[in-house]
Amino acid sequence: MMRLQPFPPHRALIAGLGLLVLVLAAVSVAVGYAPLDLGGAFADLLTGRESLAALVLAELRLPRAILGVGVGFSLGLTGAALQGLMRNPLADPGVVGVSGAAALGAVVAFYFGLSSAFALALPLGGLAGAGLATAFLLALAARGAGTSTLILAGVALSSLAGALTALALNLAPSPYAALEVVFWLMGSLSDRSLAHVALAVPFMAAGWVLVLATGPSLDALTLGEDAAASLGFSLRRTRLLVIGGTAAAVGASVAVAGAIGFVGLVVPHLMRPLVGHRPGRLLLASGLAGAALTLGADIAVRLVPTRPELKLGVVTALVGAPFFLILLRRLRVDSE
């Protein structure tokens, strides 16, 4: 008699997280400030009939849900990869400096008035800033720079980008322009269109492929760099894939959504015990959990009865900052 093999726990976790993301994405499409006949809107959209419901669905609800999945998956996935590469539980996507550089690129587009010239100036500026930071980091990694050197380079990039962003705010031609920049930096998925999706998702997907390919080498790194090298894994290649993938995914996320913090820090810690503390298995689980957290937070900002709408980055920070303090306290206790 053939015995059924038990379903591996980590695969059950992935399946459950995937189902949760699908449910939250559907809820995100359904939730809005005005009632929408989703059945009629989808029917109009599929048949090509131009109606207000189809327009709202195609230009507002669907792009917001898709970007919620993409941005959250990017932040959760890259946070787990960076923590595995650097073997540091406090690493997150902002540590490599790409987030700050992408934000600076968008601020430059704001400052010089490019954002009023054409709609995609902001994400294009963000991608340009992320691209420059990526080129710098990849050049360092290609020359054999160690993990510590890459961390210090990322800190330097973040500091420089932050200083230049503050300078742009200080020299803003009007207080309204400065306020607009500040609101964008808080992070949000509102008022995004399918053009933003088409611009950002290819870069995100390329980053996901690069980062997910490092799973086995991140598992080997838990034994130490020398042991991983003896097993045939190239630490230099792993650094290139993680840095390049993080830059592509996070740079595209910041370019279209602004700065959304703490997702890449919080989610890997929540998922790590559920995957047996294996960095390779943590990647996909953290990506899906990051997508679920981002979608849930974005749904929450629409349900809270405040006007103007709360910024998504504010909500994730309110959730993530207390967790960060608890994590620091736990790490201190473990070290004593």
pLDDT digit string, tens, across residues 198-213: 999 999 999 999 999 9
- Assigned token pair, 135: 């080129």
* pLDDT value for 216: 92
* Omega before 308 within 30 of 0, i.e. cis: yes
In a domain, 29, yes or no: no
**326-330 average pLDDT score:** 73
* pLDDT value for 32: 78
First to last CA, the chain: 54
Q: What type of residue is 198? A: A
The whole domain housing 126 covers 70-330
288 contacts 72 by C-beta, under 8 angstroms: no
- Assigned token pair, 175: 């207080």
Query: DSSP for 285-316?
Result: HHHHHHHHHHHHHHHHHHHS--SSPPPHHHHH
112 contacts 128 by C-beta, under 8 angstroms: no
Q: Report which DSSP code applies to 33.
A: S
**175-199 average pLDDT score:** 84
- Tell which phi-psi region holds residue 307, choosing left (phi > 0), alpha (psi between -120 and 50) or beta: beta
Count of helix runs (H) and strand runs (E) in the chain = 16, 0
pTM: 0.90
Question: From CA 257, how far away is CA 313, in angstroms rounded?
Answer: 9
In a domain, 225, yes or no: yes
In a domain, 11, yes or no: no
Q: How many CB atoms within 10 Å of residue 162? A: 14
In a domain, 194, yes or no: yes
Question: From CA 215, how far away is CA 284, in angstroms rounded?
Answer: 9
* pLDDT value for 135: 85
Q: How many CB atoms within 10 Å of residue 171? A: 10
Q: Given a cut of 60, is residue 5 above it in pLDDT?
A: no
In a domain, 121, yes or no: yes
- Assigned token pair, 304: 């809270």
Mean pLDDT across the chain, nearest whole number? 85
Q: Given a cut of 70, is residue 2 above it in pLDDT?
A: no
Q: Report which DSSP code applies to 8.
A: P
Question: From CA 191, how far away is CA 257, in angstroms rounded?
Answer: 10
Give the residue with greater pLDDT, 71 vs 255.
71
Q: CB-based contacts of 326: which residues, under 8 Å, 6+ apart?
A: none
Q: Given a cut of 80, is residue 7 above it in pLDDT?
A: no
> Which CATH number is 83's domain given?
1.10.3470.10
**pLDDT tens-digit readout, 262-302:** 898 889 988 998 998 899 999 999 999 999 999 999 999 98
Q: How many CB atoms within 10 Å of residue 198? A: 11
In a domain, 199, yes or no: yes
- Predicted confidence band at 185 (pLDDT cuts at 50, 70, 90)? confident
123 contacts 254 by C-beta, under 8 angstroms: no
Distance of CA 260 to the CA centre of its chain: 7
Please report how many Cα atoms fall inside a 13 Å half-sphere around the Cα of residue 284, on the Cβ side: 17
**63-84 average pLDDT score:** 94
Q: What is the dihedral of CA 64, 314, 202, 157, to 10 degrees?
A: 160
Q: What type of residue is 247? A: A
Give, for 44, the enclosing helix (H) or strand (E).
helix 38-47
**pLDDT tens-digit readout, 27-62:** 999 887 777 777 787 887 788 788 888 888 888 899
- Assigned token pair, 290: 């990051």
61 contacts 194 by C-beta, under 8 angstroms: no
* pLDDT value for 50: 80
* pLDDT value for 1: 41
In a domain, 13, yes or no: no
Query: CA gyration radius for the chain?
Result: 21
Q: CB-based contacts of 297: which residues, under 8 Å, 6+ apart?
A: 312, 315, 316, 319
The total of structural domains in the chain comes to: 1
**pLDDT tens-digit readout, 129-181:** 888 888 888 888 777 767 778 778 888 888 999 899 888 888 877 777 777 77
In a domain, 50, yes or no: no
- Predicted confidence band at 335 (pLDDT cuts at 50, 70, 90)? low
